[in-house]
Structure 1
């Protein structure tokens, strides 16, 4: 009986504190000269290896990184071998084992003279901001925050409560992911920097996809990064977090806070595509890559601040990907953890069906979704997708635990986080964009499109593993009024008639809230 009044009291106190803090504001945007990446030095070891790995000129080399341990190791290898520059751009950079490994590698690079630039969206920096600030005190290293919060920086909710008058600005986030070294090699894709994205989390882990890239696409990636780095929406971290616990911070605090250096990563001999770790190829002086024409597609850093929702949508990464999908002639396979196509997207999917283009979609089940309200938006289109002839699959946490192709999940909850597309067995998209309204109009996104049939076949192999081993196939009941989930275990097929692996309360909440949540908020 005493819990409710106590909760109300705490909430009232928090509201009072937030209201008092609401008068805070960002410091004036600092005057600074634009910074641009230097021309790539062809004589650095990474550039030499890239040149030795395949055709020169207009071709880009790409390798998929479906295995979390390999993807993390690729970033560490680039950081350790870089001689001139590192550019690092992420939506989330956590203070956990993964984040600390990379932060140490970046600090070490700065100490040996590499020019290090780190750009992090400010939404989830409550735990990592002190280490990021200390990193910025390292020689040759700069850290900046995208669209920062002014005050009450102890958590996400407190930050929003401190600036209710700025909700419109703060609701727009930078969702890009990039790690590039010496203008010669880069890793792009869907993974943030946190344990969960590299199968090192204890509670949950994500199936995700990155790609290692070399070649002329690096110039495009660095140009995109520079546009963000020089944007008026970006502040040096020391302007936003000048003190920690009321005290100034210096480079020595980094060593004091970071703790002991983590042991070397345990890497399997090969990944599910048969590749050895990237470090072995780098040691050998040649990378195994697929080569083809490539282009970067990215939102401008001011997309949320300088455009209406309609303008943001019309020029967005989302619409550029839709353009690729609509140009398909034979087949589209797409993975998206959040699948809310909207009426325009639904019309595009139906157009594919009318032109006899095969459409396969892999997304999260309710049980696997870390954003259950987004699932309510997807459910609005699920029957129509099936009725149009789409092949629809939903990831199963339980089946994911039993499959070791992406690594050991143990008791952790398996979730899909991969944002990929394969068009006509040739074009491959890998990036940060979800197929939902937030990616279209609220967040900035980035991805790369590569044209190579062999690379596309490898992506299809990865998707097939998830579809057949870790997911349910959906179909409409004979009367077309309900959805059924099919699980194939050997020769036995199990048919389920309600959201599999979900709890009664999950289903109840979604059924109650689903009709009430505006799609634009998903």
Structure 2
């Protein structure tokens, strides 16, 4: 049994202070007042049992397929999944076919059609006797406690929250942070990892959270992303990393944080209703193959043999206590994902190609880029444009370094929401807004990083991350093809203006080159806002 001790008491808010504030500034002021009055930054003293992953067994169908598919014990197999529809189907197939265990770890797990669909599949697995462990970062759980408590009410299911907020659990992010006023340095650190493991045999890694927009199911906006299905040598280390987080001092059993007056039977009934067909429609039928030519993973699983790209790989994740031992802006720890990826980049001999939705090099990153360019290494980066990003303040941090990066010869490309909409390939987004979310690096056309890490200070020293380095020319080629689709067809190339000061954005439509002098697709208001606020935000907070 592990005993977690964070404080002497659990935060409770006197009923007379539970006001319904309708504006953001009032919520902040109220939260500051309440945190001082009620001591709302404390978490409970918790006892719970440590558990461990169940290793692969050929007694399960997935385990037998994995063992039969692996050509050599030191190799790992991968299938990249650039299409959200195929990526979601892979997770559902693993949940439907699991016979022993499901271990899920996510930064965001939304209460929408996609989230409920996957929760339904997980609950059905638990009813078959599958042991389910779901570890969620607490940042995006506001208003969803009852849904997850419903899942946890099933036999064979346990849900834990990483670094939870103590109070205002149903009132939105502003109130939650406000009520953590005295503990902001703790709640600012988040578990950004994404991981899905079935029967100790097969896993999904990468950058996708669980929400409609990560699987191309949103009518308003969708993310350009990529993750990977994997088996082989890499899976046991992934299980060990999951256990490290699951049994950490920062992982709290859900029921110790989220409170309800409902019985288990009532929670399950409510969960069944919320995840039923009326509120959780199935996804559209998959096409015969994705953009890389792969069919649905179900075809391989039905045939009992996996068609994958094989290579040597190693996986790493930040220690769970990294956020509480490392200060924002600190030098990345040698155990961190950022440190390991940067060390591989330093060894590059010919080229480094990176895709990162949030790209803030900072002083240390500029030193790295300068070192690569001094060696003659070509450096190419694809990131979001100002109009495409969902984090404009982070873009302000990136924009400080654009001219300096261009002067040393870094090739910069920015995803354009208008060019993405005009792309006539069937897997793109039509009228919805597209944003880049893929977090990958390819080094010297044979070494690939796939994971949750952004190339920014938050990933380096504030959040925890998970990722894998894979040595395979074939996988690197596919990853470069995916990046090139967006770089060449849906992005602007950024260059210095002829005067040497200021920027220009280059694109081609109908074989005609166009040159823009201002941030593409961005309104005057957002440009002014970034011009005013950008200098005020230090890199280490981005």
Superposition TM-score, scaled by structure 2 size? 0.92
Cα offset, 1:311, TM superposition? 6.0
Give CA deviations for 1:339-368 in whole Å, capped at 9, x if unaligned: 101111111111111111111100000000
Which of the numbers 63, 70, 84 marks the counterpart of 1:68? 84
Contact 1:29 1:232 in 2 (8 A): no
Residues 229-240 of structure 1: pairs in structure 2 closer than 5 A: 229-240=246-257
Contact 2:414 2:492 in 1 (8 A): yes
1:366 alignment partner in structure 2:
386
Contact 2:505 2:515 in 1 (8 A): yes
Give CA deviations for 1:41-79 in whole Å, capped at 9, x if unaligned: 123111211122241311000110000000000000000
Cα offset, 1:16, TM superposition? 3.1
2:72 alignment partner in structure 1:
56
1:220 alignment partner in structure 2:
237
1:19 alignment partner in structure 2:
33
Cα offset, 1:281, TM superposition? 1.3
Cα offset, 1:252, TM superposition? 2.3
Contact 1:304 1:312 in 2 (8 A): no
Residues 358-507 of structure 1: pairs in structure 2 closer than 5 A: 358-405=378-425, 407-507=427-527
* Distance in 1, Cα, partners of 2:297 & 2:490: 26
Contact 1:243 1:249 in 2 (8 A): no
Contact 1:130 1:244 in 2 (8 A): no
Which of the numbers 297, 302, 306 marks the counterpart of 1:287? 306
1:277 alignment partner in structure 2:
296
Helix, strand or coil: the match of 2:284? coil
Helix, strand or coil: the match of 1:42? coil
Contact 2:406 2:412 in 1 (8 A): yes
* Distance in 2, Cα, partners of 1:129 & 1:137: 12
1:252 alignment partner in structure 2:
269
* Distance in 2, Cα, partners of 1:405 & 1:223: 40
* Distance in 1, Cα, partners of 2:32 & 2:266: 26
* Distance in 2, Cα, partners of 1:228 & 1:296: 15
2:77 aligned with 1:79, yes or no?
Answer: no
* Distance in 1, Cα, partners of 2:263 & 2:517: 57
* Distance in 2, Cα, partners of 1:450 & 1:9: 48
1:322 alignment partner in structure 2:
342
2:225 aligned with 1:208, yes or no?
Answer: yes
Residues 262-273 of structure 1: pairs in structure 2 closer than 5 A: 262-273=281-292
Superposition TM-score, scaled by structure 1 size? 0.95
Which of the numbers 300, 303, 327 marks the counterpart of 2:319? 300
Contact 1:425 1:457 in 2 (8 A): yes
Cα offset, 1:80, TM superposition? 0.5
Which of the numbers 507, 510, 516 marks the counterpart of 2:530? 510
Contact 1:116 1:141 in 2 (8 A): yes
* Distance in 2, Cα, partners of 1:390 & 1:120: 37
Give CA deviations for 1:305-325 in whole Å, capped at 9, x if unaligned: 234453654532112111111
For structure 1, which runs of at least 5 residues remain unmatched after alignment?
A: 1-6
> What is the aligned length?
516
Pair 1:247–1:471, CA change in 2 (3 A): same
1:3 alignment partner in structure 2:
none
1:4 alignment partner in structure 2:
none
Which of the numbers 113, 129, 132 marks the counterpart of 2:145? 129
Q: Tell me how large the CA RMSD over aligned residues is.
A: 1.9
Pair 1:293–1:268, CA change in 2 (3 A): same
* Distance in 1, Cα, partners of 2:332 & 2:537: 22
Contact 2:150 2:264 in 1 (8 A): no
* Distance in 2, Cα, partners of 1:196 & 1:305: 31
Residues 325-336 of structure 1: pairs in structure 2 closer than 5 A: 325-336=345-356
Structure 1 stretch 306-315 or stretch 209-218: which is displaced more?
A: 306-315
Structure 1 stretch 475-484 or stretch 111-120: which is displaced more?
A: 475-484
Structure 1 stretch 473-482 or stretch 319-328: which is displaced more?
A: 473-482
Contact 1:272 1:406 in 2 (8 A): no
